[in-house]
Structure formats: C-alpha cells, structure tokens
A and B are shown apart, each in its own frame.
Chain A
C-alpha cells in the first residue's frame, strides 16, 4: 500500500483514451464471451459466475481500501442488503407481474447499497484508519445481528428465497439456463469494473488517493478529506449493492451468511491477496481465491488454515499482493531481462514448493492422527492412499519439508543477486563475464 502507487495516465496532449488503456477491456470482453465455449459444463459456469460476482465485490472493496485507504471490516453488509432488497423486488415482481426485465435488477441493488452507505458514511468517514475500521466492524455486526431479529426483511434463519424467471422476458430470454445468467453477470461485471476504473480517474477518485496518502495536505488543497472519503464510501456501497443484486440473480436466495463479518473478512482477504495497489489486483485475487477455494476445499479439511497462513505471509512479505509481485517484474521486462530470472526462479521456487507440500503433508498427517475416528487409519494425500499411523509417510513428509526448504535457501542468494542485476540498468547478466 505504501510502496505501490496508482499508475498514472500518461501525459498526452490528445484528450482521448489511448490504445493501451482500451485494449485490456476489449480483451476482457472477448475473453468473457468465449470462456463458456471452452468451459461449458454446468459446474464450470457455476464457478465462473461466482468468480465474477466476487470480482465486482472485491473491486468495490478496493475503492475503500486501496484507493481511499479505508479498512472496512463490514463491507459484506452493503452487498447483502443490496441482495436482500433485490430478493424482495423479485418477489414483488412475481406477485404483481410487473413488466420489469431481469437484467436491470442489479441497479436497484446498487441503489439500495448506495442508500445504506450514504447513511452510514455520514458518520463513519470522519476519520480513516483505526477508527473507521472499528466503526465498520460495529455496523457490520449490528446489521448482521439484525438479520435474525427483523424477519420481515431478512427472512430470519431460513433466508429470503425468490425466483428470477418471473421477470419480463428479455429479448426472449427467461434466464432459465445457467449460461444465460452467465452472460447477464458478465455484462454487469464488465460494466461495473469499467465504471469503477473510470471513477478512479475522476477528480474525486484522484483526490481519494491524495486523502489516503496525506489527509492533512489534501485539506490544504481545498478538499475536505471527510467528503472525499464519503464519496468513495458511497461509490463502494453502490457497487457492492450491484454485486449483491448479481448474487440474488445467480443463487435466488440470500441468507444471514451474506451479511456476516466472516463474509466481510473474506473480501478483505481476497482483495489483499490480489493486491490493493493496482486496479486489477482485486480481480486477480477474486479469480485466484475462487479457484483455490473450489480446488482446496475438496482436497483438504484444513484448507482454511492454509489460507490464513498464506494471507499472513502476504501481509508480512508481499504487501503488494499478487498484483504487486507481478508489477515488480515490469522494470526487468522493459529491459528484456525476464529470461535471466527463469533459471534462478526454478532453482528456488521448485524446491520451495516441494518444501511447502511436505509441510502441508505433515499438517494433514497430524490432523488425521488427531481427529479421525479411532480405527480409521487410511488417508489419501496427493492421490496416494496410505496408513497415517505408519512411520513411512511421516519420514517422506519430513524429508520433503526439510530438503525442499534447504534447497530453496541454497538457491535464494543467487536469485537475489540475479534479481538485483536484472533491475540495474546497464548491468551484465553474470558477474565478471565467464568468471
């Protein structure tokens, strides 16, 4: 967050968007269009839908954290409330046969998220930092707790179900099939992402960065830090509400889980893993997290432990997240020196991965021994089934852990040196030629 900065639009005299700015969006649209052709199975589309909803949510969260410097522990509330409102609207449309097409529904979710954000933001954006974080947590808890009490709106513990197919057919589509929902969500994802990107280029979006870096200085430029925060907050609430509307359309039910602080924590985790310093960071985070979740949760009972460890490691060692790590390579890439790094990377990261896999195996073994039913000693790990109470798997895991980490440490100095040289203009690939 500190050493990363928003990439500036290049200082061009011509006031039009350059190719470099437009190209990623065109590619994204084409990519989303053809994706279901490559992965057409229902489960793949389910995952992709979830991914896109998470992208909108994470981007809206980063309007607060990355761009505005506001750490929220209660952002799920705006998505949830927007979603609940859309559920009600769905039921009203069904009951009264209102002539509204389904694709406009997220707008209403967004407006409701915006409304709630306007109320909460009016007193929570006075300060950033710790105070803001604590208020967001308190409000989040308050609304989450209300969901059990105000049954009329939140549906109590059963949640609020609805049916998306009663809307006015949209060019003959009634959204009975997953693939139709996919394109609806894809449209809203691209539109929301584009709008959020453009927001970051507007005066208030630019000032959000200024206020994040130095609220006091911003005040002496004529801007009230509080109002700048308030506008970012409202924008974030609006797009979170849109994500909630998309959730409502996709799943046709919202429950109290959607409002919970756990949900708010997850979106913080996703956004931070992806990287808060760059616009595309949260997109990476949402994609990586959804894939990780759908793969790991099938493989391991303690995947959340790994996730927690990964998150903590990211905070400590890579505060720029995934996007930060990627962007670190830009200077070397500009000088055409990425090739230099391949060898040292392989020599360090490969053993490190083996070490991590070994460590994970140890954890799984320990977990199995501690928590499996008595007599159940069979376990499957890395596609191998074995007896967790015998000595051999333990030895293999320990050897892999120790060996992998040792090898990685051996390769690290070389990697550091090559990294340094690849980023120093005019440096040679190796020290002293053939020495």
Chain B
C-alpha cells in the first residue's frame, strides 16, 4: 500500500475547556479529490487550520506523505508540498495580479531569500506566472492591482496563488462561498482544471459543488468524522442523513 498524501491520526484540539476537534482519523490518498462537509460550527475550518499549522494541535498527528508535521510553521509545511486557500479572500491586494502570482512561484523555483537575482530577468518566472494567469483566465488583468478585481476574479486569483507553487496537496476553504450560480460553475471548472493529478481537499457548503467535484466525502459533525466514503455511499448513509444531509437534501427537492 502506498503512503497516503495526508493522514490524520486521533487529531484533537481544545480551546480552553471546549474541545472543537474530538479525535479525527482520516486518510486521503494521492490524486484524490476529498471534500469535507458538515454543519456550521462542526470544526471544518479549525481542522484546516490544524493541518496547515496555523494552530498547534492539542494531541494527535498530522502526516503529509508520511512525514509528521508536528511543530512546523506554515511556511515549512508549505515547502513540503501543501498549499491552501482561505475562506476570506486572502491575496496581496496592493500588488498587481501578475506580482501576486509571481511571488507564489518564487520559493518553488528555488529563489529563496536571494537578493542577487532580479525577478524581472528570469524568463522562467515571467513565463510561469503568465501560464498560471492563462489557466485562471486573468491574463488581461495582469497589470491591475489585485484589490480592484471583482470578487469572483479575486477568488480565482487566490486559487491561482494556491496552486502556483506546485504543491501536490491543495486545500481549498470554501472556494465558492458568496458566489452566484454562474460564478460557482466557473470556479468549479477552474478547480477541476488546475488540480488535475493533485490531491485536493476542500471544505464546501454547496452540495452541488461537493457532489460534482469530489471523489470522496467526509462528514464532520461536532468535531468528529461520522462518515467517509464515495459520494453515493455518503448520500445513502442514514447517520449522515439524520445529522446533516437530510435537511439539506430535503430542501433541495
């Protein structure tokens, strides 16, 4: 059996006396598209933040390609091949769209903290950035400051920044939150395109997006995973229907 891309073992997190994540075990295989769903306040974002090193876990382990991530800062985790987006748009709004993408390429192209290279002289950087812009359809916006883009464009840019570094595990936190139907369709297509052959883990509320995109779904309720499986299995799971999906599915019909 191959090493899973991401593995969580008995992950727990408490804030004061409140336990938000209550023992999560999860294994996500390579090139799998895995969605984490669950009602509000289930701890999805906290789980994301634990995996990406924003908060330290109370106990348990997070393994990326078999390596324990304990005690690593976000930038160290990122260098090991994990990249994430944020629930609230998180871009460099004073810099141009092109700069945003180029900055996200710097580390993976080995520039590190160098102060002897000129970024504008590197053909790889410029072309790499233009390629990403092409993928996220923002080529025509390249020289605009990122802050003036429309909301959907900013979300697209955020996805571009997230994938640009070449990480093979991509985590997206509610990539379609606050979007119209057409915008959602556009972003879903974009995600499908840019995460080809990569491991995708996402938190999402829109069931259309989840069932359209995910290979596997995990349901998180009150800090515990109550079910994991193929979309149709999860849909049929009575526990899930009771806890969460029932209401949502009924509402859809």
Contacts and interface: CB of A to CB of B under 8 A. Distances in A.
Q: Do chains A and B touch in the complex (CB under 8 A)?
A: yes
Interface of A: 2-6, 8-13, 15-16, 198-199, 201-207, 209-210, 212-214, 216-225, 227-228, 231, 235
Contacts of A202: 114-119
Contacts of B12: none
Contacts of A10: 143
Given A10-B143, A220-B78, A221-B107, 16 more contacts: A5-B145, A9-B119, A11-B98, A198-B118, A202-B117, A202-B118, A203-B111, A203-B114, A203-B119, A206-B99, A214-B93, A217-B161, A219-B73, A221-B78, A231-B113, A231-B115
B106 interface: yes
Nearest to B167: A222
A10 B84 CA distance: 29
A206 B103 contact: yes
A203 B74 CA distance: 19
A222 B107 contact: yes
Point out which of B98, B103, B116, B161 has the most chain A C-beta atoms below 10 A from its C-beta: B103
B130 interface: yes
B103 A207 contact: yes
A220 B83 contact: yes
Given A15-B123, A214-B91, A221-B161, A204 B99 contact: no
B4 to A, nearest CB: 22
Contacts of B55: none
A208 to B, nearest CB: 10
Nearest to A221: B104
Nearest to B92: A213
Contacts of A221: 75, 78, 103-104, 106-107, 161, 165
28 contacts: A2-B94, A6-B99, A10-B143, A11-B143, A13-B123, A13-B126, A15-B120, A15-B122, A15-B123, A202-B116, A203-B111, A206-B102, A207-B103, A207-B113, A209-B99, A210-B92, A210-B95, A213-B94, A214-B90, A216-B74, A217-B90, A220-B75, A221-B104, A221-B161, A221-B165, A222-B78, A223-B107, A231-B115
Most buried by A among B98, B106, B108: B106
Interface string B71-90: 00111001100011010001
A143 to B, nearest CB: 26
Given A213-B93, A216-B90, A11 B126 contact: yes
Contacts of B121: 15-16
A15 B98 CA distance: 16
Nearest to B86: A217
A5 B95 CA distance: 6
A8 B91 contact: no
B17 interface: no
Contacts of A231: 113, 115
Contacts of B119: 9, 201-203, 206
B195 interface: no
A413 to B, nearest CB: 27
B112 interface: yes
Interface in B150-205: 161-162, 165
Contact of A203 (B90, B92, B117, B165): B117
A327 to B, nearest CB: 13
A240 to B, nearest CB: 17
Nearest to A230: B113
Contacts of A12: 120, 126
Contacts of A217: 86, 90-92, 161
Interface in B22-75: 52, 73-75
B115 A204 contact: yes
Contacts of A15: 120-123
A203 B138 CA distance: 23
Interface in B110-146: 111-123, 126, 130, 142-143, 145
Contacts of B162: 220
B96 interface: yes
A11 B104 CA distance: 16
**Which of B115, B145, B165 has the largest number of chain A CB atoms within 10 A?**
B115
